[in-house]
Amino acid sequence: MAMLDVKNIHKSYDDNEILRGVSFTMEKEETKVIIGPSGTGKSTLLRCINQLSPPDAGEVWLDGEEITNPATNINKIREKIGFVFQDFNLFTHLTALRNVSIGLEKVKGMEKETARKRAMDELCRVGLDAQTKQYPAQLSGGQKQRVGIARALAMDPDIILFDEPTSALDPELIGDVLDVMKSLCGKVAMLVVTHEMGFARNVADEIIFMEGGVIVESGPPKEMFTNAKTQRAKEFLGRIGALYGGG
Amino acid sequence: MTTDFAQFFIDSSPDLINGLGYTLLLTFISIAAGFFLGILLALGRVYGNKIINGLCVGYIEIIRGTPLLVQLFIIYFGLPAIGIIFTPIQAALIGLSINSGAYQAEYLRGAIQSVEAGQMTAARSLGMNKLQSIRHVVLPQALRIAIPSWSNEFIYLLQYSSIAYIIQVTELTAEGKFIAAHTFRYLEIFTMIAIIYLVLTIVSSEIIDRIAKRLSIPGVGAAKGIGQRNT
Amino acid sequence: MRGPLALDTLVESLPQLMDGLKYTLGLTAFGIILGTSLGVLLAVGRSYGTRILSIIIMIYEKVIRGIPLLVLFFLIYFGLPQIGINFDAFTAAILGLGLRSSAYQAQIYRGAINSIPEGQINAAYALGMSKFKAIRYIILPQVLRLSIPGWSNEFTILLKDTSLAFGIGVIELMRQARYIQVRDPDLVLIVFLFIALIYFILVFSANKTLRYVEKRYQMAGYQSEVHR
C-alpha cells in the first residue's frame, strides 16, 4: 500500500475546471516533482492533498486513512503533511524561532522549552542559527523560505508539499533553498511543484508532467528529459530546459 | 398591547416632533458653524505662521481632550459667574459648534495636506496667488476627500446633541424623559426615541453617501473614514 | 464675596472631586474591558462565524451605533426595570459604555482581520491548527497589534463619554462638580475649568502611553495605521 494515494481528483473554481481527474501514488521518503505550464492546477493539486481546498470529487489516502472523508480529523492529518508556501506565509508577529516552535507547542502540545530546543535544531539544520530572533520582515526571501521549511520539518511530517518554493526568490537566493531541499532527500517524502529543472533532474525519483488539469506523463527524470513519450512533454521540457539552462 | 403602544406613540408624537425639531436645529446649525470654524482652523494649521499654528493646535487639542458635557457646563453654568449668560439653546449651539469645529478642523487638515503639495505648486505656477490656489484648487479637492469623515461628524453631532438635554434644552431626549416621567413608560418611550435616532442616523449617512457620489470626481479619492469615530 | 477664582475653597473641595474621579476611572476601566472583550468576539464572529451569526452581529453593530449613548443609558437604567431587569446606575453606565464601545471596536478589529493576508491562516491550518487555534494564536495576536491606534481612539472616547453617566446619577466627576456648585455657587467656573483640566490630563497621558505601547508592540515591518 502506497503511503500517499491520490485518486481521481477533480476541482473547479466557479465554472473553471482546474483539475480533471488526477491520480498518483507516493511511497515513503520518495521525492516527486510536478512540472508543467502555469495555470495547470499544480498548486491546486497540492492544496487538494492537504485539504486547504477540498477537492470536489476524488479521494486522498494517507497511511491507509481516507483524508477526504469528512469524518476524518483534518487537523490531525495536516500535522503529518508539511506545506511550504510560495510566498512563505511566515507568521508576521513571531520571530523565526517562534514560527517554528508554535506548531510544536500549540498543535503537538510540547513543553515550551522542548519546543524551543527542537525549533533551534531545525533552524540550525537549514543554516539559520544566527537568525532565530529575527522577525520575518527582517529576513531575506531565501531565509524566510528556509524558516518555512524548518517550520514544516519540525512537525515530523510523513510528507512535505512544496508549492513553488523558489518562485518568489531573487535568483541568487534560490540556491540556498534548493540545497536545503536536496539535503532532505531520502529522509522525508517530498512532493515539489517547481520550475527548477536542475533540481527536478538531479533530485527527483519521478517527474510528473501536468497540463490542462491532468497528468500527461510521468517517469524517472532521465527518461522524461531525454526520451519523453508525449509530444507535449517533449515540447515543454525542451522549451523550459532552454529557458532555465537545462540544469 | 400593540394598539395601546400605537395610541401611546400617537399621543406622544406632538411632544416628540417638537423635540425632534430642536435636535435637528442643534445638529444643522452646529455642523454648519463647526464647518466654518473647522476650515479656518485647518487653514491656520496648514498655512499659518508658527503662532497661528500654535494657537490652532492648542484650541483643537483642548477641545478634543475634554468631554462635550464639560464644555457645555462651562458655557451654561460657568460663564454666568463672570457675567456672560446664555439661554440653554444658545449655550448648546455654542458648545456643539465649538466642539465640532475642533474635530472638523482635524480631518479637513488631513484632507488639505493630502492634496496640498503638488496641486499648490501647479496652481501657483499658473499665476494664482496663495488665496486663489487654496480657494480654487486645494479646497475643492480637500472638501470632497473629507466627505466620509464629515458624514461621521454629522452623525456624531446628531447623537451628541442629546447631551443638551442635561442643560435643559427640550430636544428629543429631553421630551422623552419628560413624557416618561409623567407616564412611567420608560421602556416604550426610550425605545421610540432610540428608533428615531437610529432612523435619522441611517437616513443621514445614506443621504451624505449619495451626495458624495454625486460630487465625486474620478481620481479624487475619498478618505477612508467610514466607521471611524471622532476623537 | 469671593472672586470667581477662589482657589482656597477649590482645594477644600479636592477630596470630593477625587472621589468622583475614582468613579470616572472605574467606569472607564470596566467599560473598556467590556467593550474590548465583546468587540473582539463580535469581530471574530462576524468574520469567521456562520452567515446568520454574521448578519445578527452586523445588525447589532448598526443599531447600537445608531443610538446616542445617553438614550442607551436611559434604556438600560430606566427602561429595563419595567421588564424586571434592574441595575444600579454604575452598572448601567458600564453596560451602556461597554456595549456602545463594542460596536465601534468590532469595526476596528474586523478591519484588522481583513488586512491580514489569507496565507497566515492557511499556514496555520497547514501546521494542523484548528480554526480556533489559528484564530487564537495566529490571527488575534496580529489583529490586536494592528488595532492599537484604533483602540486608543476608542479608549479616549470612552473616557470622555463617562461624563454622560451624570445623566443617570452616577456620582462621577461631573456630578461631584455639580454638588460643589450647588453648595457653593461662587466656585462654579473654577470647578468646571478644573474638571476640564483633569479630563485633559487623563486624555493626554492616555494618548502618550498608548502611543508608547503601540511602538513597543509594533511588528517588525508592519507599520500600523497612522494616528488620526
- Angle (nearest 5°) at CA A93 between A120 and C119: 95
| Among A62, A73, A75, A93, the residue to mutate for chain C (most C Cβ within 10 A) | A93
What are the extents of the domains in chain B?
Answer: 2-215
C212 touching A (Cβ < 8 Å): no
At residue C64 the predicted structure's pLDDT band, cuts being 50, 70 and 90, is very high
What is the distance in angstroms between the Cα of C123 and the nearest Cα belonging to chain A?
Answer: 6
- Within 10 angstroms of residue A67's Cβ, the number of other Cβ atoms is 22
What is the distance in angstroms between the Cα of C207 and the nearest Cα belonging to chain B?
Answer: 10
* C70, C82, C107: residue with CB nearest B187: C82
Is C137 in Cβ contact with A92 (below 8 Å)?
A: no
Q: Give the closest residue to C116 by CA, choosing from C145, C89, C87, C93.
A: C145
Is B66 in Cβ contact with C199 (below 8 Å)?
A: yes
Is C189 in Cβ contact with B67 (below 8 Å)?
A: no
CATH topology of domain A4-243: Rossmann fold (3.40.50)
The pLDDT value given to residue B12? 85
pLDDT tops 80 at residue A164: yes
At residue B229 the predicted structure's pLDDT band, cuts being 50, 70 and 90, is low
Residues of A in contact with C119 (CB under 8 A): 85, 87-89
The pLDDT value given to residue C63? 96
C193 touching B (Cβ < 8 Å): yes
- Sorted by where each starts, the structural domains of chain C and their CATH numbers stand as 7-216 (1.10.3720.10)
Instruction: Using CB atoms within 10 Å of the CB of residue B41, give its burial: 0 to 12 exposed, 13 to 18 middle, 19+ buried.
Output: buried
* B67, B79, B194: residue with CB nearest C75: B194
Q: Give the least confident one: B4-8, B122-126, C72-76, C177-181.
A: B4-8
Please compute the mean of the pLDDT values over residues B20-47 and round it to a whole number: 95
Nearest CA in chain A to C130: A75
At residue A211 the predicted structure's pLDDT band, cuts being 50, 70 and 90, is very high
- The three cell numbers locating residue A66: 481516507
The pLDDT value given to residue A20? 95
What is the distance in angstroms between the Cα of C137 and the nearest Cα belonging to chain B?
Answer: 27
Q: B and A: touch, per 3+ CB pairs < 8 A?
A: no
Is A75 in Cβ contact with C128 (below 8 Å)?
A: yes
pLDDT single digits (tens) B97-120:
999 999 999 999 999 998 877 888
A189, A28 contact by CB (below 8 A): yes
At residue A78 the predicted structure's pLDDT band, cuts being 50, 70 and 90, is very high
Task: Say which CATH architecture domain B2-215 belongs to.
Answer: Orthogonal Bundle (1.10)
pLDDT tops 90 at residue C94: yes
Residues of A in contact with C141 (CB under 8 A): 93
What are the extents of the domains in chain A?
Answer: 4-243
- CB half-sphere exposure, B34, CA atoms < 13 A: 30
pLDDT tops 70 at residue B228: no
* A222-231, B19-28, B207-216, range with greatest mean pLDDT: B19-28
Task: Compute CA distances B117 → A182, B123, B126, B219, whole Å.
Answer: 54, 10, 15, 16
Partners of chain C (3+ Cβ pairs below 8 A): A, B
Residue C154's contacts (CB-CB under 8 Å, 6 or more residues apart) are: B229, C32, C35, C101, C104, C105, C108
- Within 10 angstroms of residue B58's Cβ, the number of other Cβ atoms is 10
Nearest CA in chain C to B181: C78
Is C145 in Cβ contact with A89 (below 8 Å)?
A: no
Nearest CA in chain B to C185: B81
Partners of chain B (3+ Cβ pairs below 8 A): C
At residue C222 the predicted structure's pLDDT band, cuts being 50, 70 and 90, is low
What is the distance in angstroms between the Cα of C204 and the nearest Cα belonging to chain B?
Answer: 7
Please compute the mean of the pLDDT values over residues B161-183 and round it to a whole number: 90
Q: Give the least confident one: A97-106, A118-127, A223-232, B208-217.
A: B208-217
Is C150 in Cβ contact with B194 (below 8 Å)?
A: no
At residue B214 the predicted structure's pLDDT band, cuts being 50, 70 and 90, is confident
Nearest CA in chain B to C83: B187
* C117, C128, C145: residue with CB nearest A93: C145
Measured between its terminal Cα atoms, the distance across chain B in Å is 42
Please compute the mean of the pLDDT values over residues C94-99 and round it to a whole number: 98
| Residue-averaged pLDDT of chain A | 92
pLDDT tops 60 at residue A161: yes
C74 touching B (Cβ < 8 Å): yes
Residues of C in contact with B228 (CB under 8 A): 150, 153, 228
Partners of chain A (3+ Cβ pairs below 8 A): C
